[in-house]
Amino acid sequence: MSWSSNEVHLASRPTGYPDAGTWSAVTVEVPEPGEGQFVVKVDHISLDPAMRGWLNDVRSYIPPVQIGEAMRAMCTGSVVASRHPDFAVGDAVAGTFGVVEYALSDGTGVTTIDLGVAAAPTWLGALGMTGMTAYFGLHDVGRIKAGETVLVSAAAGAVGSVVAQLAKAEGCRVIGIAGGPDKVAWLKEIGLDEAIDYKSENVLRRLREIAPKGIDVYFDNVGGDILDAALANLRRGARVVICGAVAGYNDETLAPGPKRYMSLLVFRATMTGFVVFDYEDRFPEAVAAISEMIADGRLVARETVIDGGVAAFPDALLGLYAGVNTGKLVLKV
Amino acid sequence: MSWSSNEVHLASRPTGYPDAGTWSAVTVEVPEPGEGQFVVKVDHISLDPAMRGWLNDVRSYIPPVQIGEAMRAMCTGSVVASRHPDFAVGDAVAGTFGVVEYALSDGTGVTTIDLGVAAAPTWLGALGMTGMTAYFGLHDVGRIKAGETVLVSAAAGAVGSVVAQLAKAEGCRVIGIAGGPDKVAWLKEIGLDEAIDYKSENVLRRLREIAPKGIDVYFDNVGGDILDAALANLRRGARVVICGAVAGYNDETLAPGPKRYMSLLVFRATMTGFVVFDYEDRFPEAVAAISEMIADGRLVARETVIDGGVAAFPDALLGLYAGVNTGKLVLKV
């Protein structure tokens, strides 16, 4: 027996936004698992801003996706056949299976997930790499303390919305930046102290008004002008956490850097990059903490689920960069 | 009795490089000291890249020099009249007296200096704010460790040349960047492992060759393209110390930021700004350490002394930005 898997493979490296030529639709026969292997039927696929970076043939924190390979993606799914001692048929799992319908796995990087704690999309969001990124970026890199003022960009997005709520739970004053009135309204609803609509407001000026003493921690998901506005409004000893720079991911040349970086000197501040995979050993700590917050209502895990199967992946990815989602963007297979 | 002091005052705020209209030559009568005061005859004036920033009317780590005031500058001199218990006539002192010949002081920020340890220009260089900047930037901000690879820009300059030698003394491999063959030759002479001439070499490519495993600590005095070249060649866990950005100080608009700042994420690196005045309590520690290194020959304190009096200040400052100096640039009064 084998499983026909419809998949999206990388056909050519894009310049700028990925387009039709970037991808190829391929059907692959996934064979019976060998000893120590199992087959997963993927049910949800995570869409992540970082995906654009994985398409570039450059040295980075992770090797690029190779041409002819299935697009890399984190997924949830269920085990449909197994010759692996740790994974049984019917187990719900999460792993980097790719934009595929079925995957053969040896268990590397795969974890079992408890759908009683939260539904599969949440295991790609607040309880997945998204939540891990928020948790370790805020606590370990940002070193937030109760009473501090925390600013987060893309605050209605996957990572940002978890960051904002974790910081609130820690006793911080939290300011979110998002695009459009709906997202801003949602940020108020989930308890942020202030929300700035970057599409209709001057972020630099608004920050000066609502945080006249400056920002202690800025969690940056976007780069660009918003990073500069934050740098201009730091407080002495501030920590800027570099999580992403979605504003520039699809640019054909390197986006401009933060022209106000000398604020780091003025404010004796620090700007630090991190990669969530470095904290893998401590993921259980974060999953436990966030699960508890979801259970007692302190954290709202929200996902935008697109129901289109793997064929919808190319458009869904463009939607992510256009900011269609509130919370985590997930593709249902 | 009084003292006629020729001085350089700020006449108007420059855009771009300071020019003739920026300064006014003024003669001030410095009166007899009152109770708790003393008069200093200035003998040497320090020229510092940061001076350009002090002319801008912006919020920074130090208030701007006001129009009509003597230009701020660190100086050495000797006490010629005193009614202050801690300062006696004949004492050699260092303080922020300004671009003046005589200054009335109440002792705030003034220290006595031992000309037996080193001549006055060195008390503005390796034993002055310059040396303090190098010492605390490298140890406290950069957290250098023996065996690490340290890169320093403007390495033949005042701060850079002390940074480079302190890092060598700590057991680091040290790469310096400077402009022109004479400076590069001098860097080799004082023991640097490698020296790159940014005027004739491609810094990014050369760094890749001579530090294929990357840079652990980059001490940045210049910003601009050299900062970007360093960011592209970091090692995992690197520390980038932001000391200055002389490349952009005289630009009429904000210079571009470091477009490769996302390297901080790739390399899990940190970029931190600092201001030397924050370490004032620990200056004696650094003075003792650097004095010992000068005495036993591990550190060469070099100064370029211009013998022109306060009237030569405007040209000397432009010379600093043109890089005329090797080591510390000092104006003799």
Interval A165-182: pLDDT, tens: 999 999 999 999 999 999
Residue B186 has a pLDDT of 97
Task: Find, among A256, A259, A226, A268, the residue nearest to A243 by Cα.
Answer: A226
Q: pLDDT tens for residues B171-207?
A: 999 999 999 999 999 999 999 999 999 999 999 999 9
Residue A282: is it exposed, middle or buried by C-beta count within 10 angstroms (0-12/13-18/19+)?
middle
Report the relative pairing of strands A102-105 and A38-46 from DSSP bridges: antiparallel
Test the A interface: residue of B159, B208, B240, B265 with most A CBs within 10 Å? B265
Residue B161 has a pLDDT of 97
Q: Give, in order, the Cα–Cα distances in Å from B70 to each of B28, B57, B65, B97.
A: 10, 16, 8, 9
Residue B254 has a pLDDT of 79
Residue A49: is it exposed, middle or buried by C-beta count within 10 angstroms (0-12/13-18/19+)?
buried
- Determine contact, residues A135/A127, Cβ cutoff 8 Å: no
**What share of chain B has pLDDT > 90, as a percent?**
94
Of A61, A257, A266, the CB nearest to B61: A266
Residue A244 has pLDDT above 90, yes or no: no
Q: pLDDT tens for residues B241-285?
A: 999 887 777 777 778 899 999 999 999 999 999 999 999 999 999
Residue B245 has a pLDDT of 82
Pick the CATH number of A129-277 from 3.40.630.30, 3.30.43.10, 3.40.50.720, 3.90.1300.10: 3.40.50.720
pLDDT category at B17 given cuts 50, 70, 90 is: very high
- Determine contact, residues A220/A246, Cβ cutoff 8 Å: no
- Mean pLDDT over A215-242 rounds to 96
CATH 3.40.50.720 domain extents, chain B: 129-277
CATH, domain range A2-125+302-332: 3.90.180.10
Residue B1 has pLDDT above 90, yes or no: no
Q: Name residue A277's amino acid.
A: F
Q: Give, in order, the Cα–Cα distances in Å from A199 to each of A259, A323, B107, B147.
A: 21, 12, 53, 49
Residue B251 has a pLDDT of 79
**Which contiguous run of DSSP H or E holds residue A189?**
helix A181-189
Alpha-carbon distance of A221 to A243, in angstroms, equals: 5
- Nearest-CA distance from A57 to chain B in Å? 14
- Determine contact, residues A236/B59, Cβ cutoff 8 Å: no
Q: Which residues of B touch A264 (CB under 8 A)?
A: 242, 271-273
Residue A61 has pLDDT above 90, yes or no: no
Report the relative pairing of strands B111-112 and B328-332 from DSSP bridges: unpaired
Q: Which CATH architecture has domain B2-122+303-332?
A: Alpha-Beta Complex (3.90)
pLDDT category at B118 given cuts 50, 70, 90 is: very high
Residue B244 has a pLDDT of 85
User: Per the structure block, which two tokens stand in for B182?
Assistant: 């004479």
CATH 3.90.180.10 domain extents, chain B: 2-122+303-332
For chain A, report the end-to-end CA distance as a whole number of angstroms. Answer: 21
**Which contiguous run of DSSP H or E holds residue A319?**
helix A313-322
Does A273 sit within 8 Å of B263, measured CB to CB? yes
Residue A237 has a pLDDT of 97
In a 13 Å sphere around the CA of B159, the CA atoms on its Cβ side amount to: 28
State ipTM. Answer: 0.90
Residue B240 has pLDDT above 80, yes or no: yes
Residue A147 has a pLDDT of 98
Q: pLDDT tens for residues B292-325?
A: 999 999 999 999 999 999 999 999 999 999 999 9
Residue A62 has a pLDDT of 87
Residue A277, helix vs strand vs coil: helix
pLDDT category at A256 given cuts 50, 70, 90 is: confident
- Among chain A residues, the shortest Cα distance to B236 is held by A61
User: Per the structure block, which two tokens stand in for B181?
Assistant: 């063959």
Test the B interface: residue of A136, A265, A275 with most B CBs within 10 Å? A265
Does B255 sit within 8 Å of A264, measured CB to CB? no
Residues of B with CB under 8 A from a CB of A: 59-61, 223, 228, 242-245, 254-275, 278
- Mean pLDDT over A37-54 rounds to 96
Q: pLDDT tens for residues B29-65?
A: 999 999 999 999 999 999 999 999 999 998 788 899 9
- Mean per-residue pLDDT of chain A: 95
Q: pLDDT tens for residues A128-149?
A: 999 999 999 999 999 999 999 9
* Runs of H (alpha helix) within chain B: 51-54, 120-124, 129-136, 158-169, 181-189, 203-210, 224-231, 263-266, 283-295, 313-322
Of A61, A255, A257, the CB nearest to B265: A61
Alpha-carbon distance of A123 to A121, in angstroms, equals: 5
For chain B, report the end-to-end CA distance as a whole number of angstroms. Answer: 21
User: Per the structure block, which two tokens stand in for A194?
Assistant: 């202030």
Residues of A with CB under 8 A from a CB of B: 59-61, 223, 228, 242-245, 254-275, 278
- Mean pLDDT over A199-218 rounds to 97
Q: Which residues of B touch A274 (CB under 8 A)?
A: 265, 268
- Determine contact, residues A321/A17, Cβ cutoff 8 Å: yes
Q: pLDDT tens for residues A23-35?
A: 999 999 999 999 9
Long-range Cβ pairs for the range B277-280 (8 Å, 24+): B277/B61, B277/B62, B278/A268, B279/B132, B279/B136, B279/B140
Residue B247 has a pLDDT of 73
Residue B119 has a pLDDT of 97
Kindly write down the DSSP assignment for every residue of A8-25, as one continuous string: EEE-S--SSS--GGGEEE
- Among chain B residues, the shortest Cα distance to A63 is held by B266
| Per-residue DSSP letter, B251 | -
Residue B60 has a pLDDT of 81
Report the relative pairing of strands A111-112 and A149-152 from DSSP bridges: unpaired
